[in-house]
């Protein structure tokens, strides 16, 4: 199946299905000499794994990575880095009743239309289970970015349903702020209401969507290309590759549609004590101008749809075209946002790692 690789110089290739024996990623382009161990990956994998709280799927997976190649004596060698994450709690029998039915909101029909067959066990290759190795690969990218440029990538839940968090300074949010509650929202008061909403909808056999915000700080000015290699375009491609993402915006996003130019422009300012480089007074441009990083924090948002797998009956059709109903059994998140956060961070970090190496190759930086 094509389309399994992402990136140019920092490049990942993944393989694996939802209820298969495991998932694997091969990473090319990792510079030699970066200290790396399994422990560097477990933090983000723990944040992504199923079964971590009362508001996530109860599938129980430890998601312990195994480094197969590319590390020797605790450091990267510069050769291909391979990571395997085995699956231990597969339950393909949960999906046996829907093998000939198309689940609304899923890729069942389109997968079948493309290949003439599909893996009905939780979506197979289309499942978010595949993202565990992306998160593992991104842990390597994050370490490289931190070591070379002091770049940090932090995501959090900005919105669940109509509940919107008050986050006045996105660049000031820390990982500790995010991990202070199970919904991963740095606004504690709104987080409690989000949890209540998610629990109520789980009880009603329903689900809810929302918005995740991802912020990258420390990115130098100058990363990205002015035409087809725009940094913002690569972020869009990366984030849209994640399951359940229906919208991506950065900076003021769709809010610019109601602004005048004089209201939208971010005035440049000279270096000062707080900022030693040229910077802007505001950041409606979200850290990118002309598709190239400006040195200001990169701020992106993803609209994530409600979980499509519902235990309540929904109308659908069989593969033969016969009308029927479907109620999806198994274990599913009533809201994808808490576990989506490390996935969104992962794709942002992978893009930045790739552009970091591209800038070094092109400009010697």
Q: Which two tokens stand for residue 177?
A: 């702020």
- Tens of pLDDT along 323-338? 999 887 766 789 999 9
How far is CA 199 from each of CA 55, 85, 119, rounded to the nearest angstrom? 7, 30, 30
Position 100 confidence tier, pLDDT thresholds 50, 70, 90: confident
Using alpha carbons, select from 320, 284, 314, 279 the residue that is nearest to residue 299: 284
Burial (CB < 10 A; 0-12, 13-18, 19+), residue 128, is: buried
In the CATH hierarchy, which fold is given to the domain comprising 5-251+286-363? Chorismate synthase, AroC fold (3.60.150)
**Predicted pLDDT at 311:** 86
Q: Which two tokens stand for residue 1?
A: 């199946």
For residue 83, pLDDT beyond 90: yes
Average pLDDT of the chain is: 92
Output phi, psi for 162, to 5 deg: -100, 10
Numbers of helices and strands, H then E, in the chain: 8, 18
How far is CA 48 from each of CA 27, 118, 184, rounded to the nearest angstrom? 20, 25, 11
Position 59 confidence tier, pLDDT thresholds 50, 70, 90: low
Using alpha carbons, select from 295, 218, 297, 304 the residue that is nearest to residue 250: 297
- Tens of pLDDT along 106-136? 888 998 888 888 887 777 788 888 999 999 9
- Tell which wins on pLDDT, 126 or 200: 200
- Min mean pLDDT across 25-34, 86-95, 193-202, 303-312 is at 86-95
**Predicted pLDDT at 92:** 58
Domain boundaries, the chain: 5-251+286-363
- Tell which wins on pLDDT, 157 or 326: 157
Q: Report the b/e string of 154-191 with b at 16+ CB within 10 A.
A: bbbbbbbeebebebeebbebebebbeebbbbbbbeebb
Percent of the chain with pLDDT over 90: 75
- Tell which wins on pLDDT, 275 or 240: 240
Give SS3 for 105: coil
* Predicted TM-score of the model (pTM): 0.94
Dihedral sign from CA coordinates of 74, 79, 81, 82: negative
Position 93 confidence tier, pLDDT thresholds 50, 70, 90: low
Distance of alpha carbon 311 from alpha carbon 103, whole angstroms: 11
- DSSP type of residue 283: -
């Amino acid at each position: 199946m094509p389309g399994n690789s992402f990136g140019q110089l920092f490049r990942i290739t993944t393989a694996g299905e939802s209820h298969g024996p495991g998932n694997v990623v091969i990473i090319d382009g990792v510079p030699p000499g970066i200290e790396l161990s399994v422990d560097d990956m477990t933090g983000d994998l723990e944040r992504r794994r199923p079964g971590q709280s009362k508001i996530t799927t109860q599938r129980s997976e430890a998601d312990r990575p195994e480094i197969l190649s590319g590390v020797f004596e605790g450091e990267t060698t510069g050769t291909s880095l391979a990571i395997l994450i085995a699956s231990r709690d597969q339950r393909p029998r949960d999906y046996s009743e829907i093998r000939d039915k198309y689940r609304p909101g899923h890729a069942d029909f389109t997968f079948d239309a493309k290949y003439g067959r599909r893996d009905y066990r939780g979506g197979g290759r289309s499942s978010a289970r595949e993202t565990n190795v992306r998160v593992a690969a991104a842990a390597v990218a994050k370490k490289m970015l931190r070591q070379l440029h002091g770049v940090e990538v932090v995501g959090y839940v900005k919105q669940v349903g109509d509940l919107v968090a008050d986050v006045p300074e996105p660049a000031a949010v820390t990982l500790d702020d995010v991990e202070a509650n199970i919904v991963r929202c740095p606004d504690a008061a709104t987080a409690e209401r989000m949890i209540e909403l998610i629990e109520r909808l789980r009880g009603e056999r329903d689900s809810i969507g929302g918005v995740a915000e991802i912020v990258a700080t420390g990115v130098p000015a100058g990363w990205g290309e002015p035409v087809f290699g725009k940094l913002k375009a690569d972020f869009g491609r990366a984030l849209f590759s994640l399951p359940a993402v229906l919208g991506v915006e950065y900076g003021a996003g769709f809010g610019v549609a109601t602004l005048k130019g004089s209201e939208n422009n971010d005035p440049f300012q000279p270096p000062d004590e707080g900022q030693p480089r040229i910077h802007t007074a505001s950041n409606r441009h979200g850290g990118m101008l002309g598709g190239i990083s400006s040195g200001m924090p990169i701020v992106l948002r993803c609209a994530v749809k409600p979980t499509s797998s519902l235990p309540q009956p929904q109308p659908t059709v069989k593969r033969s075209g016969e009308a029927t109903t479907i109620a999806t059994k198994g274990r599913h998140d009533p809201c994808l946002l808490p576990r989506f956060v490390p996935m969104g961070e992962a794709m942002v970090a992978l893009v930045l790692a790739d552009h970091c190496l591209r800038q070094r190759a092109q400009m010697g930086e």
